[in-house]
Structure 1
């Protein structure tokens, strides 16, 4: 496979054409999140949300210049932005987030997120998997030593039989010449990897190749599986190397995605009302969140929308200027439209929306670990404290949970860790976050060791 030879299969497809229709997925490479092993039980009492939308601000935004302003601090701390009042009494956020300010009754802000590793790759791993330290063998690069992403943990514990993936990440794979760790199933194996979409939904040519059938091949023809399966089963040597066993019954799950229309229709974003598309914003942020809403509506339980290409929020230079002109306006428009849209459609109560980066930025502008003069207007990496936004899924809106110190450097109240974020995500979906999963060597592992951020679901702040 992939050797460049044109091998014609009995059903009339070339090897390259089979790749187009998801042949790689059939072999456990392209769409492996559709295939999983035996499930374990869900949390007693049932789920509070049907889905989770993780809006990931890759590169890490400044907490002070967004959701935790420090107007009383010196200018080199507070920056150039002014705080504004919000719909939540007593809660202020950045002046360049007016749309979110008008929706503050719908969300809660946690201002005391914290961990100890201000490295993009490692912190991304921690925030996307719910761990507080790197697992043995894991590095900054994606590998099978990584801890499983949330979608992968869910896929292991709650496998599906309906052809809908348990997890979709879009619109980019986080990389810096190599894939960042923590984005796949890691130790659980490739069968549980989430589905990564790597195209900008705002691109007029946006198209998902997995759904692109070659000319002359219809879904009805594809659904006639026997001849194709006989051909694939004949590739025993290839299958033994790629599938790692457990092949029985997996073909139907792969084909169900290709032959059923539910998920495919969700990706047909051009069918959306143009006015709705305009409200979200005709940019990558807006159309990615609109696509995420469509996928959630199609039944995908975990969608991760990466707001920006890798390090988009990594404002080492001109921090305030970049936020003001390039980053905050599209984010404010898109997330505000999303909250409205979910509310109007009756989906907000059953969708937990989380917005967070991998860490925060230095309290002092120009505080740079490298001491480079071009960084005097920027903020460096900072994991001491940062903010996260939570809405829907039972979250009590209009409140602030936790607080940072007067410089926005460290928690001044209870700090919440990446593992606590993970516990909250799993519990919201009705999954016991302390469940046991097994790695590819059949070793038992506790999925998560955090604590649910309980104040999110009560009216009391911490």
Structure 2
């Protein structure tokens, strides 16, 4: 071991690596299991103005957009989703997603964990939303199937969902503790300056010195000294620094320009390109937040925001992602779920003090797109009523979506996870959506 590697040097490297974004996760086991890309339409996509339009409804329900035909006979989409309309053979559309939480926080928690958010108690809100949450999918997988090869179990990109002092619930490991948190990207990958410094050793740290410091870590651990959680973080820092699999995935500059252009030079587009590269590197769970907090929360200027930015960006990026996964053979083992925490109200409204109308929160019925990992595409599953207000067929909940995600990862929804008191908990209480995989 190089003589320059002191315990103080080691601790400095470990703390610095964590600060630079090295994951608080050990990732799942297993070399080539299925992966999941959760495309989170944070804030809630208006199903009526995208995937479930009602062209024959009254104007106050119908909204401002026209519709176009898709490749599925009789199925029409909003006019601003032409690429998705042309690719419906790759997707199953579910139009009867439903639950009862019209608030962003409990709705987001259900989407990102497949479970109900714990009760809130006034001044304890911040604590409840940080370490009393149910664990996100990557965190639970990390406890069930840990691994130590430098590949994180989950990556959240291009940022976490934070609003002022409040971190939205369900994004982290919750009661499993920070050791199981997914890796967090904190930059817009469409920016020319995008890079992940977590994979760059400090100046003067060549591979031999890094390996020497890993040996020092092992000596410290064998002596039983130090905080166990901090030691876990440091160990993972070394695993990341000595593995190029994930580091290479973040080198978007290695992608051909035409490929980057096809996804769109937007945060949406480059985030989904990065998601594809991470899946190629073996990351089991990628959560792509499509927009800042409440980006799709279109209380005001619903049609202007959807038309000029949100729908075209998503249309381009999501089709490029699924095209690439299919072309590379990865779609067979990558489950793609694209949905928000809820939909938008059937009736158009204008907020007090605002002049441009929009739609409010609506969890009673909404839509989502699913592809890959055996999903049978080219189909519509479920129906909403004539105003897009309630399901008129079997309804599927976020708990069922969560059960399907776990099933795609090779984890039975009734698998056991344990809290810090070693109490067992069933990871999910939903039912896998078998209908997605049936002709």
1:238, CA displacement in angstroms?
A: 5.4
The answer to whether 1:204 aligns with 2:192 is: yes
Q: In the TM superposition, what are the counterparts of 1:385-396 in structure 2 within 5 Å?
A: 385-396=365-376
Structure 1 residues without counterparts, runs of 5 or longer: 1-7
The answer to whether 1:171 aligns with 2:155 is: no
* Residue in structure 1 matched with residue 59 of structure 2 by the alignment: 75
Query: In 2 relative to 1, CA 226–159 (structure 1 residues): closer, same or farther, beyond 3 Å?
Result: closer
* Residue in structure 2 matched with residue 317 of structure 1 by the alignment: 300
Q: Distance in 1 between matches of 2:63 and 2:55?
A: 9
Q: In the TM superposition, what are the counterparts of 1:194-343 in structure 2 within 5 Å?
A: 194-225=182-213, 228-229=216-217, 239=227, 242-243=229-230, 252-343=235-326
1:439, CA displacement in angstroms?
A: 0.5
Q: Distance in 2 between matches of 1:309 and 1:232?
A: 41
State the TM-score, normalized to the length of structure 1. 0.87
| Deviant stretches of 4+, over 3 Å | 11-20, 136-141, 230-238, 249-254
Task: Assess if the C-alpha contact under 8 Å between 2:5 and 2:212 holds in 1.
Answer: no
Q: Distance in 2 between matches of 1:235 and 1:314?
A: 52
1:330-382 deviations in whole A, cap 9, x for unaligned?
Answer: 1111111111111111111111111000111111111x6xx514165111111
The answer to whether 1:458 aligns with 2:420 is: no
Query: In 2 relative to 1, CA 169–12 (structure 1 residues): closer, same or farther, beyond 3 Å?
Result: same
* Residue in structure 2 matched with residue 147 of structure 1 by the alignment: 134
* Residue in structure 2 matched with residue 349 of structure 1 by the alignment: 332
Q: Distance in 2 between matches of 1:432 and 1:319?
A: 39
Task: Assess if the C-alpha contact under 8 Å between 2:383 and 2:391 holds in 1.
Answer: yes
1:95-122 deviations in whole A, cap 9, x for unaligned?
Answer: 1000111100000111111111111122
Task: Assess if the C-alpha contact under 8 Å between 1:35 and 1:250 holds in 2.
Answer: no
State the TM-score, normalized to the length of structure 2. 0.91
Give the number of equivalent residue pairs: 430
Task: Assess if the C-alpha contact under 8 Å between 1:24 and 1:30 holds in 2.
Answer: yes
Bigger mean CA deviation after superposition, 150-159 or 371-380? 371-380
Bigger mean CA deviation after superposition, 75-84 or 220-229? 220-229
Task: Assess if the C-alpha contact under 8 Å between 2:399 and 2:428 holds in 1.
Answer: yes
Give 3-state SS (helix, strand or coil) of 1:32's partner.
Answer: coil
* Residue in structure 2 matched with residue 56 of structure 1 by the alignment: 40
Task: Assess if the C-alpha contact under 8 Å between 1:84 and 1:93 holds in 2.
Answer: yes
1:161-218 deviations in whole A, cap 9, x for unaligned?
Answer: 3221111010010011121111111111111111111111011111112112211112
Task: Assess if the C-alpha contact under 8 Å between 2:214 and 2:238 holds in 1.
Answer: no
Q: Distance in 1 between matches of 2:186 and 2:346?
A: 34
Query: In 2 relative to 1, CA 75–220 (structure 1 residues): closer, same or farther, beyond 3 Å?
Result: farther
Q: Distance in 1 between matches of 2:140 and 2:326?
A: 28
* Residue in structure 2 matched with residue 19 of structure 1 by the alignment: 15
Give 3-state SS (helix, strand or coil) of 2:314's partner.
Answer: helix
Q: Distance in 2 between matches of 1:231 and 1:179?
A: 37
Bigger mean CA deviation after superposition, 76-85 or 252-261? 252-261
The answer to whether 1:32 aligns with 2:24 is: yes
Q: Distance in 2 between matches of 1:235 and 1:196?
A: 31
Task: Assess if the C-alpha contact under 8 Å between 2:22 and 2:240 holds in 1.
Answer: no
Q: Distance in 2 between matches of 1:316 and 1:250?
A: 41
* Residue in structure 2 matched with residue 86 of structure 1 by the alignment: 70
Task: Assess if the C-alpha contact under 8 Å between 1:136 and 1:145 holds in 2.
Answer: no
Q: Distance in 1 between matches of 2:389 and 2:225?
A: 56
Query: In 2 relative to 1, CA 128–157 (structure 1 residues): closer, same or farther, beyond 3 Å?
Result: same
Higher helix share: 2
Q: Distance in 2 between matches of 1:97 and 1:430?
A: 32
* Residue in structure 2 matched with residue 3 of structure 1 by the alignment: none
Task: Assess if the C-alpha contact under 8 Å between 2:158 and 2:289 holds in 1.
Answer: yes
Q: Distance in 2 between matches of 1:203 and 1:170?
A: 14
